Structure 1
Amino acid sequence: MVQQDGRQVRWDKHNAERRATILDAALAVIGEGEPGAEFHVQQIAARAGLNRTVVYRHFEDRADLDRAIRAHIADDLTAGLVPEVTLDGTVNQIIRRIIAAYVDWVVAHPAAHAFAAQELSGPFEQGTDRIAHAVTDILELAIALLGAELDDDERSLVDPLAHGLVGAVFGAVRRWVSREPRLPAAPVLVDLLAQSVWNLLDGHARRLGLTIDPDLPLVELLPATTEPTA
């Protein structure tokens, strides 16, 4: 029985590794084409060094393969973006760093981004939700650190607001990358989007009685803490 279990573990590991190889090959094939260009399973199989029938052993059909590819793309995006959602630096640096990470990824992977964004209600939406949840966490932490007093309605709005901000930025970048020529230039796009996000956050902060200098390190914006007693 133990021996059979061991064989099953090795077989599962082999299947997982082969599935990952197929998905990596799919990303490579997509990346070699223009955004929106059609690609075939045979191209993925050849890139992975496998037979086409072997590819389909790991997926129910082409639709299942496409869903897995989109999920793989979303995972790659979030893996690079979520670590940038921190409170390190000034407010402007925080906002710009997060937006720049997304724009840089899109510029580097326009075809993969276009393929993933074709189905916004699937894995791509789940990926943006993960990023929005991270932004929600950082907003709630910043609110707590700054000592802002929110009522129940204002506190319940933080999560929808974070999702709205992420959705607005993603929507603007999706539109920007789909146009030719891509204007303004990517660094200018990042600056303008960062300014738009700050304008909205600053409006909410002022309504709560907070005046925040976005060019000061966040640690310098925190209220003075009580000195520890001996």
Structure 2
Amino acid sequence: MSITAKRPEESRSPSGHEARWEQHNLERQTRILEAAVAMLEERPAGADIPVQEIAKRAGLAKSVVYRQFDGRDDLDCRIRAHLVDEFSRTLDAELDISTGSVEEILVRTIRAVADWMTDHPRLNEFARTGPTVRGADIDAVSSLKMRMSVRARELIASIATLIDVDDSAFDSVPFAVVTMVEGTLTQWATDPEPTRDRSQIVADLARLAWFVLDGAARSAGVTVDPTAELSAVIARLSGASGDVAV
């Protein structure tokens, strides 16, 4: 755990000086994490990157790194957590259902995953080497899959509420789709001679994901045109007028 974490017995609000010091530490931590990520991108896969070199890249003394992180294991966990947080923000933006059709949302979200795997292979590999929190029993990629499954389930539940349908048919859909996409793209990205290019594998997965979603929707009594603007579809099904934001 970072030494900047608040002790359980501290119940009062931080003073202005304490708040500034906390912000200063957070900025230092971010510099260290970003330096580590940049070096992971540059080095061969699996190469050891000494803390001294990370500190130098961040423009800090090695002792500062060890004041901000509780040892190398903690630093590595925080690097993976940083990767997951940053990529989650990217995926959240692509999952914005206020713009685009279901087809477009699926394609752009899956494409973002394919882009990250192929454009940042060393980061992808490092994320698989351990957890985001010490002691956790799943790696960072699995944590990301769980996070995105929960996010997708929340979006589906919100839409179901708006159009007043039972969303229980979708209970297993998000994790099933996320697992399918991640597993297929991992196999594709590591294939030395893939039979399909990036746009083709993205289109294939988007189509398969739609089949799963469409099947669940039909079992709930809902039929959706995957090429229609989703906000307009929601408005029509809910009997609302104007744009619908979820």
Shorter-chain TM-score: what band?
0.7 to 0.9
Q: 2:237 aligns with which of 211, 220, 223?
A: 223
- The reply to whether residue 199 of structure 1 matches residue 211 of structure 2 is yes
Contact kept? 1:169, 1:193, Cα under 8 Å? yes
SS in 2 for 1:130: helix
Corresponding position of 2:160: 143
Bigger Cα displacement from structure 2, 76-85 vs 181-190: 181-190
Corresponding position of 1:113: 124
Q: 1:172 aligns with which of 184, 188, 192?
A: 184
Distance change >3 Å, CA 37–CA 196, structure 1 → 2: farther
Corresponding position of 2:142: 125
- The reply to whether residue 76 of structure 1 matches residue 86 of structure 2 is yes
CA distance in 2 between counterparts of 1:210 and 1:13 reads 49
Residue pairs, 1:154-193, within 5 angstroms: 155=168, 158-193=170-205
Corresponding position of 2:35: 25
Aligned residue identity for 2:143: Q
CA distance in 1 between counterparts of 2:96 and 2:193 reads 33
Report the alpha carbon displacement of residue 73 of structure 1 after superposing the two structures with TM: 0.5
CA distance in 2 between counterparts of 1:79 and 1:174 reads 20
SS in 2 for 1:119: coil
Contact kept? 1:85, 1:134, Cα under 8 Å? no
Report the alpha carbon displacement of residue 145 of structure 1 after superposing the two structures with TM: 4.5
Contact kept? 1:92, 1:198, Cα under 8 Å? yes
Contact kept? 2:41, 2:122, Cα under 8 Å? yes
Q: 2:69 aligns with which of 43, 46, 59?
A: 59
Contact kept? 1:31, 1:109, Cα under 8 Å? yes
| Higher helix residue share | 1
CA distance in 1 between counterparts of 2:91 and 2:108 reads 9
Report the alpha carbon displacement of residue 122 of structure 1 after superposing the two structures with TM: 4.1
Deviations 1:42-89 (A, max 9, x none): 321221122323222211111111100000000110111112212222
Give structure 1 stretches of 5+ with no counterpart: none
Corresponding position of 2:244: none
Paired residues, what number?
219
Contact kept? 2:114, 2:185, Cα under 8 Å? yes
Aligned residue identity for 1:78: S
Contact kept? 2:77, 2:130, Cα under 8 Å? no
Report the alpha carbon displacement of residue 188 of structure 1 after superposing the two structures with TM: 1.2
SS in 2 for 1:223: helix
Q: 1:104 aligns with which of 103, 110, 115?
A: 115
CA distance in 2 between counterparts of 1:18 and 1:103 reads 31
Contact kept? 1:78, 1:127, Cα under 8 Å? yes
